[in-house]
């Protein structure tokens, strides 16, 4: 199944470069941390809303950078710290433009669903519709961030590309959106997985789906060479099983 295959490839991307991906995740959380203070101030007084928005300044460019660094095409040449900073500095406008056209609507939809669910009002009938819109808008936002990071797309192209991926594979988009939200909740309950690999794994999996939908070739550095593939097809130099390797341990060839 294509969905399972792409999801597994994204997860494998994370574990094949675990230290780098864990560093990316922790760096992203450091950019999110100031928002906690902003939300606390907003809960004390809604007049602090401008301060809350200001504390979220680092999140959109950090998200674009996260997707850019989790691009599977970078596996053959891992970026250094200077590349990460350069990408972050150049992603402020991209990140905020995408966040500005998606996040406010997601917040409104989430508030509507939580407030009107169970209410004896005509607006409660719209809750299922709002949930569906939220699911698709959430994954569209992630597609757009992915395109901004992997393809360096600006807002218009990121929206067009995101809509293309969404419309051509709507059921995949809905399932992926729900999967990310469910896994996000589970990781949050366990805390440590969310801190170390949560953001990077989300970005890596989303990148795989976006690049596959756009038919962008991703070279697997661990794939066998054409010569080795020919040998396998001809039955030459068969690979040893784990048991054979154990039995031959310590022996000369």
Q: Where are the domains of the chain?
A: 2-223
* Rounded distance between C-alpha atoms, residue 226 and residue 52, angstroms: 55
Q: What pLDDT sits at residue 205?
A: 96
Distance from the Cα of residue 68 to its chain's centroid: 10
For residues 128 and 160, is the Cβ–Cβ distance under 8 A? no
DSSP string, 57-105: TTHHHHHHHHHHHT-GGGTTS---HHHHHHHHHTTHHHHHHHHHHHHHH
For residues 201 and 72, is the Cβ–Cβ distance under 8 A? no
82-92 pLDDT, tens digit per residue, is 889 999 999 99
Q: What pLDDT sits at residue 250?
A: 46
pTM of the model: 0.86
Q: What pLDDT sits at residue 242?
A: 46
- Torsion over CA of 96, 99, 105 and 107, rounded to 10 degrees? -110
pLDDT at 163 over 80: yes
Residues in the chain: 253
Among 96, 117, 113, residue whose Cα is nearest residue 54: 96
- Torsion over CA of 8, 9, 14 and 17, rounded to 10 degrees? 140
Q: What pLDDT sits at residue 122?
A: 87
Six-digit token string for 245? 């390797």
Q: What pLDDT sits at residue 76?
A: 72
Q: What pLDDT sits at residue 140?
A: 97
32-77 pLDDT, tens digit per residue, is 999 999 988 888 888 888 888 899 999 999 999 999 999 998 877 7
Q: What pLDDT sits at residue 9?
A: 93
The H or E element that residue 195 is part of is: helix 192-196
* Rounded distance between C-alpha atoms, residue 54 and residue 69, angstroms: 25
209-253 pLDDT, tens digit per residue, is 999 999 888 876 555 545 555 555 656 566 655 455 555 554 544
* Rounded distance between C-alpha atoms, residue 64 and residue 96, angstroms: 10
CA 139, 145, 150, 153 dihedral sign is positive
For residues 14 and 201, is the Cβ–Cβ distance under 8 A? yes
For residues 180 and 10, is the Cβ–Cβ distance under 8 A? no
> How many other CB atoms are found less than 10 A from the CB of residue 183?
16
Among 160, 135, 193, 158, residue whose Cα is nearest residue 60: 158
For residues 58 and 23, is the Cβ–Cβ distance under 8 A? no
4-24 pLDDT, tens digit per residue, is 999 999 999 999 999 999 999
Among 231, 235, 189, 180, residue whose Cα is nearest residue 209: 180
């Amino acid at each position: 199944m294509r969905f399972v295959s792409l999801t597994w490839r994204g997860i494998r991307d994370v574990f094949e470069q675990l230290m780098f991906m864990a560093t990316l995740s922790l760096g992203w959380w450091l950019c999110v941390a100031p928002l906690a203070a902003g939300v606390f101030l907003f809960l004390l007084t809604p007049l602090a809303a401008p301060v809350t928005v200001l504390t979220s300044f680092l999140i959109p460019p950090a998200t674009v950078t996260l997707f850019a660094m989790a691009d599977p095409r970078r596996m053959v040449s891992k970026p250094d710290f200077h590349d990460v900073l350069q990408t972050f500095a150049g992603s402020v406008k991209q990140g905020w433009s995408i966040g500005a056209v998606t996040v406010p609507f997601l917040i409104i939809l989430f508030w509507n669903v939580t407030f009107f669910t169970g209410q004896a009002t005509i607006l409660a009938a719209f809750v299922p519709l709002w949930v569906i819109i939220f699911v698709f808008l959430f994954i569209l936002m992630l597609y757009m961030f992915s395109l901004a990071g992997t393809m360096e797309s600006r807002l218009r192209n990121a929206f067009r590309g995101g809509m293309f991926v969404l419309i051509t594979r709507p059921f995949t988009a809905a399932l992926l959106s729900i999967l990310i939200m469910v896994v996000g909740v589970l990781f949050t309950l366990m805390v440590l997985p969310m801190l170390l690999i949560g953001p990077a794994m989300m970005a890596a999996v989303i990148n795989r789906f976006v690049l596959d939908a756009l038919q962008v070739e991703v070279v697997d550095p661990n794939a066998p060479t054409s010569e080795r593939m020919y040998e396998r097809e001809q039955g030459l130099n068969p690979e040893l099983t784990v048991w054979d390797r154990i039995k031959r341990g310590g022996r000369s060839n």
